[in-house]
Amino acid sequence: MIRGVRGAITVKEDNEAELVSATEKLIRQMIEENQITADQVASILFTVTNDLKAAFPAKAVRLIEGWRYVPVMCMQEIPVPDSLKKCIRVMMHVNTNTAQEDIMHVYLEGAEVLRPDLSTSNQA
């Protein structure tokens, strides 16, 4: 069965190094908390808010050994007034037998406000 694993992180500045580093941190934590291997991943969708333009966050996936062939795509978030700024969101489609309620969604660096009910930092 395919399940969606959600994640989000914010950055302070719109520059390539920060976007890629933050995204790599987020993806690695999503992988660790859900014990995901590249072979389980059908695809990963990334969105960024319209104030982030310096780099494609999907570039971070290529920094993870063994993840070269995972399909990735980047898009821009809908610019909803008063929404969270400088935010990178991830939807990873994973083949897993894990129950929906047992998926560990990861929200970091201020992005916890998007889904406080799902944030792993609130489940400890």
C-beta separation of 70 from 61 below 8 A = yes
Residues annotated as part of the active site: 6, 62, 74, 77, 89, 107, 115
Give the Cα-Cα-Cα angle 76, 79, 81 (nearest 5 degrees). Answer: 160
Ramachandran category for residue 113: left, alpha or beta (phi over 0 → left; psi -120 to 50 → alpha): alpha
